[in-house]
Copies of this chain bind each other. A is one copy, B any other.
Amino acid sequence: MVTIKDIAAMANVSRSTVSRVLNNSGYVSEEARKRVEEVIEQTGYVPSGYAKSLRTKQTKVIGVILPTIQTETPSRVVTGLGRELSKHGYQILLANTDHDKEKELEYLDLLVRQVDGIVLIATNTEPEIMEKIKSIPLPLVMIGQETEKVMCVTYDDYHVAREITAFLIQKGHRRIGFIGVDETDRAVGYMRKKGFFDEMEAHHLAVEEAWVEKCVFDIYSGHEAMKNILNRSIQQPTAVFAVTDRLAIGAMSYLKEQGFEIPQDMALVGIGASELSQYVDPPLTTVDYKNETAGEEAAKQLLAHIQGQEFQKKLVLDYRLIIRDSV
């Protein structure tokens, strides 16, 4: 492997000079620069990243920890992150925890010494993890979960849920069901649920227990939830608010199996603006969270932090209600 030493020898200069042209720092005569550049061109020399890192204490790498890359939210966020980071010469080290808390803890430790900053996507916020996170001596940003003392880029899940519920009510629905997820997921589980219930209460609308289901994050779970709601309810709801598109789509598939017409027999809304949502039948009313933008913003703030510039500690992103035919 050709090193800076070889280049120096071939160009008849010292390593320092090569280093200077490499980094465009300090004085280098035109002549010397030209010689060095020629040799670099010829040899196809690329400096060793880790040697450089060892010296400068910068890796130009950002660690990204996520529970899965197979759903649209994280993959969109990663796309946004990558776009912004690559503009500044940073790369992404990907750590997929596969929803495993232990792995998340491990990765956090592992990454500390290998990256300049960390992005956490859709982590759960249980104490053990939060404690570890707070102990990380590196710029770190969480996307999708709001927490104290940690930099974060989030959505206003509470008001989204209120707005979407209000929309259902405005459309004439009075009995509305709810398909949520565990409340340990503060953003998706807790805030969206709270938004829903608060809005219902504000309209003096009751929510029967039979209309409420708790799922995990997959389509089939939404399917089963809808089944449970239907089987259990004395008086059935006329609309259901599912906290994610996948859940809504699962619910939709069950409704169709049972011969329900949507939205006449049952209205349905989700959140996420998944690609899926526009190609199911009928197209799903949902909320666009602009995940790529979230990724870009998170990257910007994180880099600002890393470079010692001013940055936003909390950033709440915009959203957009997409009204389609499922309501």
A253 adjacent to chain B (CB < 8 Å): yes
A236 within 8 A of B: no
A93/B94 in contact, CB under 8 A: yes
Q: Please classify how large the interface on chain A is, using the bins under 10, 10 to 19, 20 to 34, 35 or more.
A: 35 or more
Choice from B54, B96, B135 contacting A50 with Cβ under 8 Å: B54
Which residues of chain A in 85-130 are interfacial with respect to chain B, using CB atoms and an 8 Å cutoff?
Answer: 86, 91-96, 98, 103, 109-110, 112-114
Stretch of A72-80, A150-158, A163-171, A198-206 on the interface side: A72-80
Any chain B CB within 8 A of the CB of A275? yes
A93 lies within 8 A of B61 (CB): yes
Q: Residue A51 at the B interface, CB < 8 A? A: yes
A70 and B79 within 8 A (CB): yes
Bound Cα distance A253, B281 (Å): 9
Which segment, of A41-49, A141-149, A176-184, A302-310, faces chain B?
A: A41-49
Residues 234-260 of A at the B interface (beta carbon under 8 Å)? 249, 252-253, 256
Is A82 an interface residue, CB under 8 A from the partner? yes
Does A9 belong to the interface (CB within 8 Å)?
no
In terms of DSSP, what is the predominant structure of the interface of chain A? helix
A15 at interface by CB-CB < 8 Å: no
Query: Does A279 reach chain B (CB closer than 8 Å)?
Result: yes
A312 CA / B129 CA spacing, docked (Å): 41
Whether A112 lies near B46 (C-beta < 8 A) is: yes
**With A109-B46, A113-B48 given, is the CB distance from A70 to B59 under 8 Å?**
no
CB pair B48 A51 closer than 8 Å: no
CA distance A322 to B80 in the complex (A): 34
- Smallest beta-carbon distance A76→chain B, Å: 6
Q: Which chain B positions have C-beta within 8 A of A53?
A: 50
User: Is B113 within 8 A of A96, CB to CB?
Assistant: no
- Give the complex CA separation of A256 and B91 in angstroms: 43
Is the CB of A33 closer than 8 A to any CB of chain B?
no
- Tell me if A10 counts as interface (CB < 8 A to partner B): no
Interface membership of A19, Cβ < 8 A: no
